[in-house]
Structure 1
Amino acid sequence: MSALGPARYGKDNVRVLKVERDAKTGIQTVVEMTVCVLLEGDIETSYTKADNSVIVATDSIKNTIYITARQNPVTPPELFGSILGTHFIEKYNHIHAAHVNIITHRWERMDVDGKPHAHSFIQPGAETRDVQVDVVEGKGISINSAIKGLTVLKSTGSQFWGFLRDEYTTLKETWDRILSTDVAANWQWRQFANVAEVKADVGKFNAAYEAARKITLKTFAEDVSASVQATMYKMGEQILAAAPLLETVEYSLPNKHYFEIDLSWHKGLKNTGKDAEVYAPQSNPNGLIKCTVARAGQKAKL
């Protein structure tokens, strides 16, 4: 005998670009997203009985994303995800949970002759602003916001020494090294009862994102890092202090290595220690450091 376990389905990789036009100023703004919506509910028979009558077609889900984007603001993405997820559990009686993931691709306004252009933009890299919104009937709205793909590097101001040494250790201690990582940071908001509560705090989502990004960059640049662990904890502490509605902050930081190259074999050319200028970037293996920072008295979920 067998039984169906947890199941959900939906539409993934729905690409959306929305252009907002200010008729008075002529200034336009673009927002590009990749959206995924997965639904849960009384859909067991579609798996076990080949009963398609309980399936909201994934094509309908895709069209709903487009229509909702046309009829509602798409920024901040936390609000758009809440509106979109709530639509599905209110529209279909047998759907009890909607899981919305939004990846917002970063576009920056182009500068032309030293002035921001009204309708031209540049994409600076792979950095995205991600949001996971889970709308569950009877439980409310859970929102997790994130920064992904923010690549940073500093050429000094990082140390690593005093670590445990045993018969497996070959790594040398260093008091000055290159530090680079691809930032993946996310922060969990307190539970919201409904879309009205999300709207009441709508201004705090962009503020938290801007604060988290600024704190991450500033701390990375200015901290004389004893380790990636110590630096990421400082980041999490500051973000929690800046945004009172957050419950936890989580970081996942790969340590992207750049190794010195000993060139002394070539006519005694110095290129190690304080004389190092040319390094070999490494793709793998790499260190990977993670942590969750929670408010005092609140247990972090690992």
Structure 2
Amino acid sequence: MGEKVEGLEFSQSHGKERVRVARVWKSKDGQRHFVVEWRVSINLLSDCINSYLRDDNSDIVATDTMKNTEIFALVGNTVYAKAKECSEILSAEDFAILLAKHFTSFYRQVTTAIVKIVEKPWERVSVDGFKLGSEKHTTEAIVKKSGALQLTSGIEGLSVLKTTKSGFEGFIRDKYTVLPDTRERMLATEVTALWRYSYESVNSIPQKPLYFTEKYLDIKKVLVDTFFGSPKEGVYSPSVQSTLYQMAKATLNRFPDIASIQLKMPNIHFLPVNLSNKDGQIVKFNDDVFLPTDEPHGSIEASLSRSRSKL
């Protein structure tokens, strides 16, 4: 929220970006480990206008303090200290809310804390071994001093591809159009999804351990299953736009505590290849040889919300 300064509208915030932390939890018998790796960004809205106008820094929570904590000031930072204090496994969403509550409750100057986390996809391959996956789990918690909450989670880099059951036809044509109609093509995309939860205060979120981690995995499954269809028959995609809408609608239908979802799905092209043989004859493409490309690509995105909901 801006304020009037010398007849002008002024707004400000400050924070700390890309604080990296890994946390390992071990079962009581030491036989099973659980690991997360998070990249944390913290942004504070606070009453520190004097630092901008009057060279007075007495109301600033130093960005280094966002690392440094009162208890561990000499050896750690807030992110690390709070991760250490979490003796039980928790989700990225719960950790973001915990950090945001810390800054809004401990510092009188801070009116709102915005905490964003990107989680690397470490996947278990043995009792205490992991491999790095591809797509990332993201979350953003905006917490006000009053306890009001806006919680958004998402997924980045979910690469999916199917070699059939996709087409594109009946689109507008002009003198620059060279793309032919087709009912058989490769469909590839890298899904970025953001969904906003309907919880409006920190006291209203579910207290079930790893609730948001499980919800993330469930939403990812719905998105993937809708993209591909059933294992036996699949599902035909008349366009990326149509598939995107079906994925968004399936998410809202399946999860009542999701208020809105935004999807971005670039159309990553696999171009049919026709080759010439030694006699100069064209060897026709037959849905079998393609030139993969990543640039340029189509850009398709849309959001879907329940009534009176905004992402």
Distance of aligned partners of 1:27 and 1:201 in 2 relative to their CA distance in 1, 3 Å threshold: closer
Q: In the alignment, is the contact (CA less than 8 A) between 1:9 and 1:39 conserved in 2?
A: yes
Distance of aligned partners of 1:185 and 1:206 in 2 relative to their CA distance in 1, 3 Å threshold: same
Q: CA deviation at 1:168?
A: 3.5
Q: Deviations over 1:167-200 (max 9, x none)?
A: 3422211111111111101111114222x32243
Matched, 1:97 2:76: no
Q: CA deviation at 1:151?
A: 1.1
* SS of aligned partner of 2:58: helix
* SS of aligned partner of 1:54: coil
Q: In the alignment, is the contact (CA less than 8 A) between 1:270 and 1:276 conserved in 2?
A: no
Query: C-alpha separation between the residues in 1 aligned to 2:147 and 2:275?
Result: 63
Distance of aligned partners of 1:200 and 1:269 in 2 relative to their CA distance in 1, 3 Å threshold: same
Q: Deviations over 1:31-72 (max 9, x none)?
A: 000000010110111222222211111111021111111112
Structure 2 counterpart of 1:6, which letter? S
Q: CA deviation at 1:25?
A: 5.2
Distance of aligned partners of 1:74 and 1:28 in 2 relative to their CA distance in 1, 3 Å threshold: closer
* SS of aligned partner of 1:287: coil
- TM-score normalised to the size of structure 2? 0.87
Matched, 1:69 2:78: no
Q: In the alignment, is the contact (CA less than 8 A) between 2:259 and 2:309 conserved in 1?
A: no
User: Which moved further from structure 2: 35-44 or 17-26?
Assistant: 17-26
Q: CA deviation at 1:234?
A: 0.8
Distance of aligned partners of 1:265 and 1:49 in 2 relative to their CA distance in 1, 3 Å threshold: farther
Q: CA deviation at 1:156?
A: 1.4
Q: Which residue of 1 aligns with 2:165?
A: 157
Q: In the alignment, is the contact (CA less than 8 A) between 2:153 and 2:195 conserved in 1?
A: yes
Q: In the alignment, is the contact (CA less than 8 A) between 2:89 and 2:209 conserved in 1?
A: no
Q: Which runs of 4 or more aligned residues in structure 1 lie more than 6 Å from their structure 2 counterparts after TM superposition?
A: none
Structure 2 counterpart of 1:190, which letter? S
Structure 2 counterpart of 1:58, which letter? T
Matches within 5 A, 1:158-197: 158-194=166-202, 196-197=203-204
Q: In the alignment, is the contact (CA less than 8 A) between 1:4 and 1:44 conserved in 2?
A: no
Q: Choose the corresponding residue for 2:237, options 225, 228, 231.
A: 225
Structure 1 counterpart of 2:80, which letter? Y
Gap runs ≥5 in structure 1 = 111-116
Structure 1 counterpart of 2:92, which letter? P
Query: C-alpha separation between the residues in 1 aligned to 2:287 and 2:236?
Result: 19
Query: C-alpha separation between the residues in 2 aligned to 1:45 and 1:249?
Result: 39
Q: In the alignment, is the contact (CA less than 8 A) between 1:211 and 1:239 conserved in 2?
A: no
Distance of aligned partners of 1:45 and 1:35 in 2 relative to their CA distance in 1, 3 Å threshold: same
Q: Over aligned residue pairs, what C-alpha RMSD do you find? A: 1.9
Paired-residue identity, %: 31
Q: CA deviation at 1:230?
A: 0.6
Q: In the alignment, is the contact (CA less than 8 A) between 2:115 and 2:140 conserved in 1?
A: yes
Aligned length: 290
Query: C-alpha separation between the residues in 2 aligned to 1:212 and 1:266?
Result: 52
Q: CA deviation at 1:244?
A: 0.7
Query: C-alpha separation between the residues in 2 aligned to 1:168 and 1:298?
Result: 41
Q: Which residue of 2 aligns with 1:114?
A: none
Q: Which residue of 1 aligns with 2:290?
A: 279
Matched, 1:33 2:33: no
Q: In the alignment, is the contact (CA less than 8 A) between 1:97 and 1:136 conserved in 2?
A: yes
- TM-score normalised to the size of structure 1? 0.90
Query: C-alpha separation between the residues in 2 aligned to 1:177 and 1:119?
Result: 42
Gap runs ≥5 in structure 2 = 1-5, 68-76, 230-234
Matches within 5 A, 1:1-302: 3=8, 5-24=10-29, 26-62=31-67, 63-72=77-86, 73=88, 75-110=90-125, 117-125=126-134, 127-138=135-146, 140-194=148-202, 196-200=203-207, 204-222=211-229, 223-267=235-279, 268=281, 270-272=283-285, 275-295=286-306, 297-298=307-308
Q: Deviations over 1:132-188 (max 9, x none)?
A: 110122360100000001111111111101112233422211111111111101111
